[in-house]
Amino acid sequence: MKILVTGATGYIGKRLIPLLLNDGHTIICPVRDLKRAENYFKNRDQIILVEADFLDSKSIEKIPTDIDFAYYLIHSMTNSAREFHILEEKCALNFKRFAEKSSIQQVIYLSGITNDTKLSKHLLSRKNVENTLSSEKYALTTFKAGIIVGSGSSSFEIIRDLVEKLPAMIAPKWLNTKTQPLAIRDVLSFLQNSLNKKEVFNKSFDIFGPEILTYKEMLLQFAEVRKLKRWILTVPVMTPKLSSYWLYFVTSTSYKLASSLVNSMGVEVIGNKSDINKILNVNPMTYKEAVALAFKKIEQNSIISSWKDSYISSGKLKNYVHEFINVPEYGCFKDYKKRKLKDREKALNKIWAIGGETGWYYGTFLWKIRGFLDQFFGGAGLRRGRRHPTELNAGDALDFWRVIYADKEKGKLLLYAEMILPGEAWLEFKIEGNYLFQTATFRPTGIAGRLYWYAVMPFHWFVFNGMINNINK
């Protein structure tokens, strides 16, 4: 069967597609950035990539219409635009118009649990999208989930940061809000098993784990799995803004995502019971089991997707990495280094392992100071790390950089800075023949940009010189 998967490069999409491929389906993926998606899904004959954006009705015309089923996985949780709900509705409306002209029989939509009388703006938007997608031309199946627990998920990584960094916490009162966490594996089972299942056509189901837990209990149970002793005191004096800053400075989340989460975490996420587990033969695991499974994946370096790889995890890039692939030549400052290679393979391996826990090979203290300053002024800092210790793909987050181009066979890695800067910056590693080239490029904005470059120039000389020497060591 031909299946359309929107949000193909997102957290859920990248995990769902391999399961559908294993079932023998052909997958149609409309993506905003074709070159980025080609890195994720290379050497997959059963995947058809189409560059299309559901905010642009004309671009959707490129998508084939001979499709049997579709998954709607488009969300804007971290979008900072005040009118994000308008954008989500527009996406849903354009998708619906396309689907009604196609041969799609069933659309499966993953939403959020919306049973509380007082919903956040994001949950209200999810509810509105469900109403928009409803159609007489195809069957709509809606699954509503709360907190999703899995390696690389935003909620998992935030809880992990809090538990592993803070032996004791003075926390906001919303930690007493109740929710029903669900493992990512179970979410995927619901999505996969509902395909062409007539019993779920034109129906909506809440999907949730077997326990009702407060966020405080989730933190403490997480600590138990990690064999850590933690103390948590909740106080009523933290405003939403203060709570957002608390999350932002303690965890790896951006301030925009922290604000969105705080607004949502004040709402109880308790699902309505149904017979969906029996219909689809899914027996959700407990929260502790989900956490333990996530750490197995982390230990095996098999994290398929991470929320940090979303462009809007930093708020600097929007849709297309390839727009930044041509490093400017004019009006720029450059720090250029060249070394004769001692061992090509070892140098390549070091370049592909750069950042994250490995670090930047020289001046670690200075990199940490720069990361702290970036975080202080609202940037990503060094907190995002990297998804995999030795693999890099275009679009991956790498500390406060974004991977723009990565081809190990050709010996080239290009990074774009997502830190707070009075300008734009690129960092390129390239191997040609017997030489290693390392180039830092900065295109300043106004006088502030030029003053910034001259202020950091002495540090750049030591850091970049030491970095290329240690890569080639």
Q: pLDDT truncated to tens, each residue of the chain (473 aa)?
A: 999 999 888 889 989 999 999 999 999 999 887 777 777 777 677 899 998 888 888 888 899 999 999 999 988 644 444 567 788 888 999 999 999 999 999 999 999 887 776 777 777 888 888 999 999 999 999 999 988 998 878 788 888 888 888 898 887 787 888 899 999 999 999 999 999 999 999 999 999 999 999 999 999 999 999 999 999 888 876 666 777 777 777 776 766 666 766 666 667 788 899 999 999 999 999 999 999 998 888 777 666 666 666 655 455 555 555 566 778 888 899 999 999 999 999 999 999 999 988 999 999 889 999 988 888 887 878 888 888 888 888 888 899 999 988 889 899 999 999 888 999 999 999 999 999 999 999 999 989 999 999 999 988 889 999 999 999 98
Assign residue 153 a region: left if phi > 0, alpha if psi is -120 to 50, beta otherwise?
Answer: beta
Report the b/e string of 325-334 with b at 16+ CB within 10 A: eebeeeebbe
- pLDDT at residue number 72: 95
- pLDDT at residue number 301: 64
Contact (CB, 8 A) for 192 and 19: yes
- pLDDT at residue number 79: 46
- pLDDT at residue number 378: 77
User: Hey, what domains does the chain have and what are their CATH numbers?
Assistant: 2-309 (3.40.50.720), 314-471 (3.30.530)
pTM for this model (two decimals):
0.77
Instruction: Report d(CA 356, CA 399) in Å as an integer.
Output: 6
- pLDDT at residue number 42: 72
